[in-house]
Structure 1
Amino acid sequence: MTTTGDPTASRLTARELTLAYEDRTVVDGLDLDVPHGAVTVIVGPNACGKSTLLRALGRLLKPRRGAVLLDGTDLARIPTKKIAQSVGLLPQTPVAPEAITVADLVARGRQPHQHWWQQWSDADERAVTEAMARTDIADLADRAVDELSGGQRQRVWIAMALAQETDLLLLDEPTTYLDISHQVEVLDLVRQLNHERGRTVVAVLHDLNQAARYADHLVAMKAGRIIAQGPPAETVTADLVRDVFGLDSVVVPDPVTGSPLVVPGRPWQSPAGG
């Protein structure tokens, strides 16, 4: 069931990666090649290690064993600022400084590109303006972030990640708090950035159908290990859904995209209702 991409086409890789919190091992001996120039989506049940893996890929979590490599070099050996110029990360539950405005928070995405002799440039201004326009938050520029709704705050954080203008973008559940319309807008934006700007994206999503619709490369995890990976059309099957999620389902072609569409089994009905 498992397929792998060409490792020569990967800038970001993990080798024999073991991740743990104190004495609890979450990811064990994992190898991963992130396909360059593609959208990779990681899926799996709660507590399977998805977000933990993404944190390690962004150097927010130090491996217990093994390594994450960027262009063949261990992340631990690369200066933080250099990593931030190449890898942008939107964590699952980011915290904004108290009373900071939307425009100021988005502007913080430009810090890795600034120098002591040039604190702000036309390129910085353009990147921030474009990121806010793409995420539909330009009219919120002067608002305090802590006054916004959950969905609005999520779009502000996504704008900050976009303003960073990195070649590699890591997104941990970017559709959290968003209604279905904004979920689609965000995922369409991810695809647009990938196709028009050539950005490599790794995202963690809970919705398997959204993952299958938007991913070029899908990674299914369970209990800290990769169970299957490859194009969604080759990876998402009823057997995989049962194995990874413990769910009986039927997998059919999406009538719009042709991608795999997971339809759960019949919902519970009372005996009186037939």
Structure 2
Amino acid sequence: MPSPGDAIASRAESPKKQTRLYAEDLTLAYEQAVVATDLSVEIPDGSFTVIIGPNACGKSTLLKALARMLKPKTGGVHLDGKLISSYRSREVARRLGLLPQTSIAPSGITVGDLVARGRYPHQKLLRQWSSEDEAVVTESMKLTGVLELSGRLVDELSGGQRQRVWLAMVLAQQTSILLLDEPTTFLDIAHQVEVLDLCADLHEDKQHTLVAVLHDLNQACRYGTHLIVMRPGGEIAAQGNPSEIITAELVEDVFGLPCRVIDDPETGTPLIVPNARKKRSEDDGPVAVHEHATL
């Protein structure tokens, strides 16, 4: 595990400006409410980048700026060597796919029809639906394990199934950069792992660059190849490989959580173990149940 000094030294480094997607000197705000200032990050090409930080620190706001859903007050987001604001919306959608935090499907739409909407950026006045579009939609549903659900209504699906369907729609855009805003929200632990395993497969097998906002630190360390750690106020606390930047000092500094950082026995990645409120002794027995207690 890295020393505390290593983590401190890696904090708030300026982006190298050599990657396809990076942001420089951003000021982000909703109307007059400033969320972050002097915010600079880089997304390494081919990485599974995870943005983590305490509640209300600006994680989703940063992702919205990277996706051109939020215009910075100052600074700029750069995509493929140009300011992202200089592209037409359809061109951005050909280069970058976004899975929002809350996605609402039109009532009565089937899985196949929803996934097909991912082909919209590739449609033109003289180029409508083609056999290529059909093949891409089918392949996207195969990759996410929802092909057998293509005729089902999205409203009828479980949370985990719906999340895979939305991911299939984003894949149908055929972009090599995917932005995912809290893709595991409202899912139980089994479905969280299912979705993150799928994202890891896309990253490893299909060479996608993924950027995800996650709340679970241990999931971020296990799946992410690059972390962006944010403090309240949008300040960057650290950027880099989880094994190089995650320390007990950093976690306590950013989250206020006293902990130990050990090796994950499954992956060898950092595993955050919060300090116990108190240690149980071997003599501690089960909690007593009063005779008339309701069980």
Range of TM-score over shorter length? over 0.9
* Stretches (4+) displaced over 6 A: none
Distance 1:269 1:13, change over 3 A: same
- Any idea what the Cα deviations from partners look like across 1:226-272, whole Å, max 9, x if unmatched? 111110001111011101111111100011111000011114689xx
Q: Which moved more, 1:242-251 or 1:129-138?
A: 129-138
Aligned ranges for residues 1-274 of structure 1 at < 5 Å? 1=8, 2=10, 4=13, 7-223=16-232, 224-267=234-277
TM normalised by structure 2 equals 0.87
Letter in 2 for 1:36: D
Distance 1:190 1:151, change over 3 A: closer
Cα shift at 1:6: 6.9
Say what the alpha-carbon RMSD is for the aligned residues. 2.1
Q: In structure 2, the residue corresponding to 1:7 is in which secondary structure? A: coil
Question: How many pairs align?
Answer: 274
Aligned to 2:4: none
Query: Which structure 1 segments of 5+ residues have no match?
Result: none
Q: Which moved more, 1:134-143 or 1:1-10?
A: 1-10
Query: Which structure 2 segments of 5+ residues have no match?
Result: 1-7, 286-295
| CA distance, structure 2, for counterparts of residue 56 and residue 104 of structure 1 | 28
| CA distance, structure 2, for counterparts of residue 177 and residue 134 of structure 1 | 22
Q: Which moved more, 1:4-13 or 1:185-194?
A: 4-13
State the identity %.
Answer: 56
| CA distance, structure 2, for counterparts of residue 160 and residue 37 of structure 1 | 21
TM normalised by structure 1 equals 0.93
Bigger radius of gyration? 2
CA contact (8 A) 1:154 1:178 kept: no
